[in-house]
Amino acid sequence: MLSNFSYCNPTKLYFGDDSLKYLNDELPKYGKNVQLIYGGGSIKKNGIYDAVIQILKANGKNIIEDSGVMPNPTVEKLHEGINIARENNVDLLLAVGGGSCCDYAKAVAVSVYCNDDPWQKYFVRFEEPSCKIVPVGCVLTMAGTGSEMNGGSVITNHQENRKVGHVFGQEVMPKFSILNPKFTYSLPLRQVVAGIYDIFNHICEQYFSGTDDNTSDYLAEALMKSVIHSSLIAVKNPEDYEARSNIMWSATWALNTLISKGKTTDWMVHMLGHAVGAYTNATHGMTLSAVSLPYYRYIMPYGLSKFKRFATEVWNISSTDKSDQQIAEEGLKAMENWMKKLGLAMNISELGATKDMIEGMAESTAILTGGYKTLTKDEIIKILTASL
């Protein structure tokens, strides 16, 4: 049965290969000073930077550059961004990049007018913003996180070996996001597949929970099928617009809060992945793929009927003359074969994790209670060890 909920997603999306022109419609809504947030330079190589600058200039904006947002943005970089915003009295934070730029923009947005230490306030104490919030806009260049239409912001603190996400409310979500699938063509294949697995796992995290009949689970199955189908086309032909546009759109729907409505959610693969990321700084989607199978095989007995449904509905495993356990295992095997076809990381050793990190990673793993089994620290150690 669906539990009670409210739903509103205020982010305006512009989708398609001509979508950047709509930046002209959005910019007049904000003041003159625009903090242009981007990463390590990919947007300068693929021409997106020049195109955005041209539109900003045509709209008479003062452009304040804030570059060098790294994958898995750090707390140090966050302070840099806050200072830039304060010194320039910015009116709009425009993130041009992947989830890291968009997440970072949100963390800056809630910190510019806040006197507390942002790491402590938002990522340790999980308080909500009580200050003025600077609006965020996004030009997305990588499909995966869903950050373009949600309130999530993940910041890494290497000193404390912690990577923590805060899901902010509607007032922090991007005011608008521009999604041009062609902007993702220049991504290296490794990033493309990491993004694809991130999308798939976001859906799994919201699917593997509950035993009721729930509309959200049917939506999740449809999205998973679309991602599997398009992913196999995209890895063979990265410039297949149909596949890349479906992947980009699925990414947004996988984590814009819709498919979690009315049900509990798991998110333990992400908690494990974030702990691995805090120690290795590995690519987010790869940290998830590397821990997924040991985790799902461990919890399968506690949620057997959903794993059986996953096998038959998502992977078309036939159920004739087989036990539920066999069907569920075949489903996970099919997922494993797909992951290998994509070339995903299948263990954490290949991401730089070593045995001596396991204890610390387990310590850094937040334990959530929405899935089929609330893990103990010993069980987390077991799963991480099986992921080596």
User: Least separation, in Å, of the C-beta of 309 and ligand NZQ?
Assistant: 24
> Helices marked H in the chain — which ranges?
23-26, 42-45, 48-58, 75-88, 99-109, 118, 189-207, 215-236, 241-254, 268-280, 284-299, 304-309, 324-342, 358-364, 377-386
Give residues with Cβ within 8 angstroms of 377, minimum separation 6: 362, 363, 367
Selection from Zn ion, ligand NZQ, none that 206 binds (CB < 5 to 8 A by kind) is: none
- Is position 191 an interface residue for ligand NZQ (rule: CB under 6 A)? yes
- Is position 97 an interface residue for ligand NZQ (rule: CB under 6 A)? yes
- Is position 40 an interface residue for ligand NZQ (rule: CB under 6 A)? yes
Let me know: does 315 contact 335? Beta carbons within 8 Å. yes
- Select 42 or 150, whichever has its Cβ closest to Zn ion: 150
Please tell me the distance from the alpha carbon of residue 72 to that of residue 94, in angstroms, as a whole number: 18
- Select 256 or 387, whichever has its Cβ closest to ligand NZQ: 256
**Residue 38 Cα distances to 44, 82, 167, 311, angstroms:** 10, 14, 21, 40
Residues 280-299 that bind ligand NZQ (CB under 6 A): 284
Q: Which listed range, 57-65, 100-108, 348-356, 379-387, lies at the site for ligand NZQ (CB under 6 A)?
A: 100-108
- Is position 199 an interface residue for ligand NZQ (rule: CB under 6 A)? no
Selection from Zn ion, ligand NZQ, none that 81 binds (CB < 5 to 8 A by kind) is: none
Let me know: does 37 contact 66? Beta carbons within 8 Å. yes
Please tell me the distance from the alpha carbon of residue 310 to that of residue 2, in angstroms, as a whole number: 20
Which residue is it, tokens 């603190």? 157
Selection from ligand NZQ, Zn ion, none that 16 binds (CB < 5 to 8 A by kind) is: none
- Is position 198 an interface residue for Zn ion (rule: CB under 5 A)? yes
Pick one of 37, 51, 99, 269: the residue that binds ligand NZQ (CB under 6 A): 99
- Is position 100 an interface residue for ligand NZQ (rule: CB under 6 A)? yes
User: Least separation, in Å, of the C-beta of 273 and ligand NZQ?
Assistant: 8
Residues 143-182 that bind ligand NZQ (CB under 6 A): 144-147, 150, 152, 154, 165
Q: Show the site string, 102-131: x = touches ligand NZQ by CB under 6 A, - = not.
A: -x----------------------------
Judged by DSSP in three states, 14 sits in strand
Task: Count residues binding ligand NZQ (CB under 6 A).
Answer: 34
| CA dihedral of 302, 306, 309, 314, whole degrees rounded to 10 | -110
Q: Helices 284-299 and 324-342, interaxial angle, to 10°?
A: 170
Between CA 212 and CA 74, with CA 10 as vertex, the angle to 5 degrees is 90
- Select 148 or 330, whichever has its Cβ closest to Zn ion: 148
Question: Six-digit token pair at 25?
Answer: 């419609």
- Is position 266 an interface residue for Zn ion (rule: CB under 5 A)? no
- Is position 148 an interface residue for Zn ion (rule: CB under 5 A)? no
User: Least separation, in Å, of the C-beta of 185 and ligand NZQ?
Assistant: 7
Let me know: does 105 contact 62? Beta carbons within 8 Å. no
- Is position 66 an interface residue for Zn ion (rule: CB under 5 A)? no
Task: Count residues binding Zn ion (CB under 5 A).
Answer: 1
User: Least separation, in Å, of the C-beta of 164 and Zn ion?
Assistant: 13
Residues that bind Zn ion (CB under 5 A): 198
